[in-house]
């Protein structure tokens, strides 16, 4: 099994941990020397900078060692690796018409063709290629800054239904989940 990027045994993390260990040793030694030997006053400023650095990086090192590394991205400024990979995959897919999409994924499901087409049409309003999405696609991978509440608001406007925060736990972020949620909501509201 290939180690993940967060695995402390990978070279990058071993280097980070080694540097942190050396910096901690230097900081402790210099602090001890400052209080016992008083070698030089110029040491105060670099020592302050070093301890400030360690206050921020030692918890990260501890989390790596515990197997719970923090995940940091620059999203939405720079899309995450997952988002970039999913967008590349999406570009390689063939576009499906509403009829092809319904025939391939929802024929015999009991979900009306019109519901599927209107959900897909609503998703086109975002800056994605909704004609290439399949039911299992996880929408937050398209846009790291996506708020599913915005998607629900748009779908609610399209179908004349209202979603509240109570509905949010039912969301899993997939296209299929949205289609089935709308279908269920229309059934509750007495729509055909």
Separation of alpha carbons 166 and 30, rounded Å = 56
Q: What is the pLDDT of residue 182?
A: 94
Whether residue 75 lies inside any domain: the answer is no
pLDDT, tens only, 115-173: 999 999 999 877 678 899 999 999 988 887 788 888 999 999 999 998 888 888 889 99
Q: How many residues does the chain have?
A: 192
Residues contacting 44, CB < 8 A, separation 6+ = 34
Token code pair at residue 18: 């080694």
Same domain, 61 and 85: no
Separation of alpha carbons 123 and 119, rounded Å = 6
Separation of alpha carbons 33 and 39, rounded Å = 7
Whether residue 3 lies inside any domain: the answer is no
Torsions phi, psi for 190 (to 5 deg): 80, 20
Same domain, 131 and 172: yes
- The range of the structural domain enclosing residue 38 comes to 11-65
pTM of the full structure: 0.63
Same domain, 25 and 115: no
Percent of the chain residues past pLDDT 70, beyond the cut: 91
The residue with tokens 């080694």 is: 18
Q: What is the pLDDT of residue 114?
A: 95
> Up-side HSE of residue 79: CA atoms within 13 Å toward CB?
13
**Mean local confidence (pLDDT), 5-18:** 72
3-state class of 51 per DSSP?
helix
**Mean local confidence (pLDDT), 28-52:** 86
Domain count, the chain: 2
**Cβ atoms of 142 and 128 closer than 8 Å:** yes
Same domain, 56 and 97: no
Same domain, 34 and 99: no
Whether residue 117 lies inside any domain: the answer is yes
**Residue 4: is its pLDDT beyond 50?**
no
Same domain, 158 and 108: yes
Same domain, 60 and 97: no
Same domain, 168 and 103: yes
Separation of alpha carbons 149 and 163, rounded Å = 9
Tell which residue, 189, 85, 49, 77, has the closest CA to residue 144. 77
Q: For residue 138, what are the β-bridge partners?
A: 174
Number of neighbours of residue 56 by Cβ within 10 angstroms: 8
3-state class of 23 per DSSP?
helix
Token code pair at residue 166: 């109570």
Residues contacting 7, CB < 8 A, separation 6+ = 13
Same domain, 85 and 166: yes
3-state class of 174 per DSSP?
strand
Same domain, 185 and 94: yes
pLDDT, tens only, 85-120: 898 998 999 999 999 999 999 999 999 999 999 999
């Amino acid at each position: 099994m290939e180690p993940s990027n967060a695995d402390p045994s990978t070279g990058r993390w071993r280097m980070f941990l080694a540097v942190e260990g050396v910096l901690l040793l230097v900081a402790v030694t210099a602090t001890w020397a400052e209080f016992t030997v008083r070698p030089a006053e110029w040491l105060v400023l670099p020592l302050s900078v070093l301890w400030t650095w360690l206050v921020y990086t030692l918890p990260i090192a501890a989390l790596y060692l515990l197997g719970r590394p923090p995940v940091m991205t620059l999203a939405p400024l720079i899309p995450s690796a997952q988002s970039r990979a999913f967008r590349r995959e999406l570009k390689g897919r063939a576009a499906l018409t509403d009829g092809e999409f319904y025939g391939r994924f929802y024929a015999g499901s009991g979900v009306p063709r019109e519901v599927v087409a209107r959900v897909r049409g609503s998703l086109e309003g975002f800056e994605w290629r909704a004609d290439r999405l399949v039911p299992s696609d996880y929408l937050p991978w398209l846009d790291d800054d996506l708020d599913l509440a915005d998607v629900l608001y748009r779908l609610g406007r399209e179908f004349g239904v209202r979603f509240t925060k109570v509905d949010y736990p039912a969301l899993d972020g997939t296209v299929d989940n949205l289609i089935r949620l709308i279908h269920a909501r229309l059934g509750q509201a007495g729509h055909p």
